[in-house]
Amino acid sequence: MNKVGNQLNRRQLLSVAAASSTASLLIGKSALAENRDALKFGIIDTNISLFHWPFRRLPLDETNLLVKKLRSLGVVQAWAGSFEALLHRDVAGVNSRLAQQCQQHDELIPIGAINPNLPGWKNDLKQCIEMHNMPGIRIYPGYHGYQLNDPRFVELLKLATSAGRFVQIATAMEDTRTQHRLVHIQDVDLSPVVEVMQQVDFAKVQILNYRPALPLFEKLANTPGVYFDTARVESIDGVPKIVNNAPQGKILLGSHAPFLIPEAALVRVHESSILNEATLQAVLSDNAQQLIPIRPSVKATVNSKPNFHMGLPTPKKLEEYRIWDSYFTPSHSHPGRDGSSKLIADIERTQPVIKKAKFEKLCYFAHVGIGTTNDAELEKKLRSNPDTILKPLQKWPNLLLGMIQLNANDIPASLNALNRWLRDGPMLGVYFSGSGPGALTCNNPSIDPLIERIGELNGVIMQHTWFKTGSKQGPGLSTPSDLAKLAARFPKQKFLCAHAGGEWEKGIRAVRQAGNVLVETSGFDATAGLIEMAVRELGAKRVVFGSHLPSRSLGTELCKVTTANITEAEKRLILGENFRNLLQPIM
pLDDT band at residue 10 using 50, 70 and 90 as cut-offs: very low
According to the model, what pLDDT value does residue 19 have? Answer: 41
- Contact in structure between 147 and 140 (CB atoms under 8 Å): no
pLDDT band at residue 498 using 50, 70 and 90 as cut-offs: very high
What is the secondary structure of 555-570 as a DSSP string? Answer: HHHHHHHHTSSS-HHH
Residue 324 has pLDDT above 90, yes or no: yes
- Contact in structure between 163 and 202 (CB atoms under 8 Å): no
Residue 134 has pLDDT above 90, yes or no: yes
pLDDT tens digit string along 24-57? 333 333 333 333 334 457 999 999 999 999 999 9
CA distance 47 to 138: 10
According to the model, what pLDDT value does residue 343 have? Answer: 97
Q: Is 374 exposed, middle or buried (0-12, 13-18, 19+ CB in 10 A)?
A: exposed
pLDDT band at residue 469 using 50, 70 and 90 as cut-offs: confident
According to the model, what pLDDT value does residue 543 have? Answer: 98
Sequence ranges of the domains in the chain: 10-298, 322-583
Average pLDDT over residues 556-568: 98
Q: Give the side-chain half-sphere CA count within 13 A for 368.
A: 27
In 3-state terms, the chain is what percent helix, strand and coil (to 5)? 40, 15, 45
According to the model, what pLDDT value does residue 294 have? Answer: 74
According to the model, what pLDDT value does residue 9 have? Answer: 47
Which ranges in 329-410 belong to alpha helices (H)? 341-357, 376-384, 387-395
What DSSP designation does 136 have? Answer: E
Domain 10-298 identical in fold to domain 322-583: yes
According to the model, what pLDDT value does residue 40 have? Answer: 57
Residue 352 has pLDDT above 50, yes or no: yes
According to the model, what pLDDT value does residue 127 have? Answer: 98
pLDDT tens digit string along 221-231? 999 999 999 99
Average pLDDT over residues 326-340: 96
pLDDT tens digit string along 256-313? 999 999 999 999 999 999 999 999 999 999 999 999 987 554 544 333 344 556 899 9
402: phi then psi, degrees, rounded to nearest 5? -125, 145
**Three-state DSSP class for 104?**
coil
Average pLDDT over residues 109-131: 98
According to the model, what pLDDT value does residue 471 have? Answer: 65
Average pLDDT over residues 429-446: 96
What DSSP designation does 257 have? Answer: B
- Contact in structure between 262 and 70 (CB atoms under 8 Å): yes
List the single range of 147-161, 256-270, 450-464, 470-484 with lowest mean pLDDT.
470-484
Per CATH, the homologous superfamily of domain 322-583 is Metal-dependent hydrolases (3.20.20.140)
Residue 524 has pLDDT above 70, yes or no: yes
464: phi then psi, degrees, rounded to nearest 5? -65, 130
- Contact in structure between 423 and 392 (CB atoms under 8 Å): no
Residue 193 has pLDDT above 60, yes or no: yes
According to the model, what pLDDT value does residue 105 have? Answer: 97
Pick from 175, 181, 176, 205: which is nearest to 193 by CA?
205
According to the model, what pLDDT value does residue 307 have? Answer: 53
Overall CATH class of domain 10-298: alpha beta
Question: Between these two residues, 465 and 21, which has the higher pLDDT value?
Answer: 465
Average pLDDT over residues 199-222: 97
According to the model, what pLDDT value does residue 41 have? Answer: 72
What DSSP designation does 195 have? Answer: H
According to the model, what pLDDT value does residue 73 have? Answer: 94
Average per-residue pLDDT for the chain: 91
pLDDT tens digit string along 138-153? 999 999 999 999 999 9
What is the secondary structure of 405-425 as a DSSP string? Answer: E--TT-HHHHHHHHIIIIISS
CA distance 549 to 506: 24
- Contact in structure between 554 and 267 (CB atoms under 8 Å): yes
Pick from 22, 21, 24, 32: which is nearest to 297 by CA?
32
Could you tell me which residues come within 8 angstroms of residue 157 by beta carbon, excluding any fewer than 6 positions away?
167, 196, 200, 203, 205
